[in-house]
A and B are shown apart, each in its own frame.
Chain A
Amino acid sequence: MGRLCGWSRTSQMHGDGDGKERWMSHGNQDPFRMGFLTAVEDAERGFVGGLLVTNRFGRPLEFQCTAPVKPNRAQQILYGPTLRPFVLGELLGRTLLDKVGVKPHLVLIESDEIIDLRQHVPMAVAFLMDKVTDSATQLPFGKHGIAFHPDFQGDHAEMARHAKAIPADADLREPFERVREALAETVRLGTARTA
């Protein structure tokens, strides 16, 4: 599966030269962005990782996904219970965050399983929790709360600054559904093409 370059929708438009972006101009140079990282598992093809970068309202900015990755037998035996965190975090998560062009300020994951990804990437990584207390590693965020890696205390302070930019009723679990649907679609289309 080759990497897709560019995006043809904008280039097809009948736009005029100047001033066309005036009513859509961005007042802010580096607005807060979130990455939603998850993966789907296909029994035959292995894990497919997906990362959706959105603005603070959940509007998509960039999407990256991986080709299916299937751990071999040796990895399965040797990694044992640490296989999933390794594949999902270090292998897929790190690759996706390296590749993505629009870098998120915060990477959200659904559980603490791959929180150690934080050790390999420069941006904050946090997992979603339904109920949190505002403590050293936890922070209310949108409708939910997020918890950080205990070894990276600075993340909490950094994200506390951005938390108010997120609407209080924002459902941060919803974008993961989108990623999963998109991954299912790519697997489906990929299978259809190779078949």
Chain B
Amino acid sequence: MTDGSLRMLDEMSARQAARAAQGAVPGPHWNLDQAAVSLDELLNEVPCEGVDLGVPAQIYSSGMNVALQRWPAVLTEAITAPKPPAMMPPWKPHRQKVTTFGLTFPEGESFQTAKSAADKGGESASKDEEELTAIEPPRPVSLMDDEALAEAKKKLVRLKPPADALSIEDRLFYLLQPPLQSWLAGQELIMPFEPFPYQYEGIGWLFSKSSALLADEMGLGKTMQTITAIRLLVRSGQVRRVLLVCPKPLLPNWQREFRTWAEELPFVVVEGDGERRRLTWTMPGVPVLIANYESLVRDFAAFGEDEFPKFDLVVLDEAQRIKNRTSRTAETARALPRRRSWALTGTPIENRPEELGALYEFLEVVPPNATPDLRQLQYLAKQFILRRTKNLVMKDMPPRLDRDEYLELLPAQKYAYEKAEKEGIIHLNDLGDSISVQHVFELVLRLKQITNFDPLTGESAKLDRLEADMEEIAASGGKAILFSQWTKVLDWLAKPMAKYGALLYHGGVPTKQREPILKQFKEDPNSHIILMSYGTGAVGLNLQFAGYVFLFDRWWNPAIEDQAINRAHRIGCKSQVIVTRFISKDTIEERIDKVLTEKRELFARILGEGDDCNASLSLNASEIFGLFDLKARSNKGTKSIGPK
């Protein structure tokens, strides 16, 4: 319909509406403009003509005609209107119920119980806290330089849930622990040194294992990793009672290491007579017990069945001791009631792969008397053994690692030492003004010899320790250089060291024979140790294939010691060199060491770290007198005692 027609329609409707308002009948649809007065008029308007149809027609009265003249009636009827528009159900924001799932850590449980008390005494609590936080935590000392440290910090070690942890709370327990670096960053736990990255990995690995064999090569810090892992387990409420078993000569070493790496962790050594040992075993509230293999076997037998105390963790150091599974030691170790079992050894396999079977049996990962085949051993090794060699962790480590081993004198040595010292001092005092540096020097030398071994009985704490280390070095095919001040000591050592293919190299060896000896040490796979004197061995030799250096006794001057160490630690050496210094505790050796360390530190402070100040570090006369609380006589001057 066009706009024009629309307009017309509109006009017509308007006219009709006007007429209707005047009471007129609207026009017919064909002529709306025609206003009609009545219906007749309308009908008259219809044009029509008569047509003869030739059909007779009659009109009957039907009544319809009347009806035609009337307006049709309009009836109305009430009908139900349609429903109002349907609405969506009303929606209001509401909080739906959310299911939760949670776990509380052992440390958190104690907070929960303390909470109600804290609510009551909140003010005093916050006061306590202020006092607590006022103490600055000590900063860890790093063995690495800044660059190495920055590199290492990038790799944070996170604990991984062990493969055997299946329940969700077990897995979350590990996943939610902070990275080891921040856990050990000297905040809650004081670490004397920053561990190396591979050590962090080792600690994390041990922490999450209930059966573990840590088989790092000697010198990589099995002791430190174990102690730190124990410390973390105790801290996180995972263990309360730990038993550490080690060979007897290593007892002092473990005690010292515990004091260094976990100073807050009390430990007790199982020693003394039978009654005292029994008391120690059952003593409550001691987190760490340290025992040697012999007393463990003896005391375990002395307790009745099921009477022996239970442990959350048992650690066997030098675990190759139980490689023979029928030995009493192995049987006892397996019978210990425990929840976690760790074994430490640098040489998990000494001769045959079956030796591993005995260790696995202790770890309870194979059934009793099982003999796993090579494939099974490989599978178990992946699961339960962590072994790193020096070459593997080379980039993590400094090229030279120094260890000071402080050893307790054995009883006979101690007796001889004390006697000699007492008599020596009396003799020096008797000398009065005629005393000279030479006299004191003689006494020092005599005492130093006793710290090496007791001349009467041959007892030697240093030899015991050396043997323990050599066992491991030889088993891993390593080579070691040992230095001593005295050819006599070297000759004496040659016998016990013969089983490690010991070779002698000192001033007493004819010059012609020296070169073949060095050649043999380099080429003979059975020759694991060469015994050298400082004077002969310290200069001019290239022995960088040796990974270990032992300083059986100390030279007066660290510079000479450094020269000796540098036989092995030279440019071109392929792996790290581990230097072990034996120092007898509470003896002249410790005192000399202290004086030398103080001097070295003083020089370093004045001249800076890089300065080679060792040459001036020899003891002077007054310092030698000071070793025995004697005063240098005024006219004796300060004569320097150094290597000739």
Q: Give chain A's interface residues, CB within 8 Å of chain B.
A: 1-4, 6-7, 9-10, 12-24, 26-33, 49, 52-55, 57-67, 69, 74, 78-79, 86, 90-92, 94-96, 99-103, 161, 164-165, 167, 169-171, 174-175, 178-179, 181-182, 185-186, 189
Contacts and interface: CB of A to CB of B under 8 A. Distances in A.
Contacts of B126: 30, 161
A79 to B, nearest CB: 8
A101 B298 CA distance: 49
Given A14-B312, A26-B110, A28-B132, A59 B178 contact: yes
B310 A14 contact: yes
B96 interface: yes
Contacts, number: 207
B423 interface: no
Contact of B100 (A6, A10, A23, A67): A67
Interface stretch (B39-47, B168-176, B200-208): B168-176
Given A15-B241, A16-B285, A7 B182 contact: no
Interface in B95-135: 95-96, 98-112, 114-115, 117-119, 121-122, 124-126, 128-129, 132-133
B101 A182 contact: no
B102 A4 contact: yes
Contact of B105 (A13, A17, A62): A62
Contact of A13 (B122, B137, B312): B312
Contacts of A179: 176
A110 to B, nearest CB: 17
A167 B175 contact: no
Contacts of A171: 182
Contacts of A18: 284-285
User: Which of B99, B102, B117, B178 has most chain A Cβ within 10 Å?
Assistant: B102
Give chain B's interface secondary structure class.
Answer: mixed
5 contacts: A23-B266, A27-B132, A30-B122, A31-B132, A90-B95
A23 B188 contact: no
Contacts of A59: 105, 107, 177-178, 183, 188, 236
B578 to A, nearest CB: 32
Nearest to A21: B110
A52 B171 CA distance: 15
B604 interface: no
What is the size category of the interface that chain B forms with chain A?
35 or more
Given A7-B105, A14-B310, A185-B175, A30 B115 contact: yes
B339 A67 contact: no
Contacts of B115: 30, 102-103
Contacts of A30: 114-115, 118-119, 122, 125-126, 129
Contact of A7 (B100, B106, B124): B106
B91 interface: yes
Contact of A64 (B91, B100, B124, B187): B100
A184 to B, nearest CB: 9
Given A30-B125, A61-B104, A74 B240 contact: no
B264 interface: yes
Given A2-B99, A66-B98, 11 more contacts: A10-B109, A28-B129, A33-B111, A53-B108, A57-B187, A60-B176, A61-B108, A62-B103, A67-B99, A99-B100, A182-B172
A141 to B, nearest CB: 14
A2 to B, nearest CB: 7
Contact of B98 (A28, A95, A185): A95
A167 B137 contact: yes
Contacts of B293: none
Contact of B101 (A4, A20, A32): A4
B384 interface: no
B179 interface: yes
Nearest to A175: B178
Pairs of residues from A and B, 3 with the lowest C-beta to C-beta distance, nearest first: A30-B118, A61-B108, A64-B102
A131 B98 CA distance: 35
Contact of B129 (A14, A31, A103): A31
B235 interface: yes
B160 to A, nearest CB: 10
B399 to A, nearest CB: 29
B95 A65 contact: no
User: Which of B284, B310, B337 has most chain A Cβ within 10 Å?
Assistant: B284
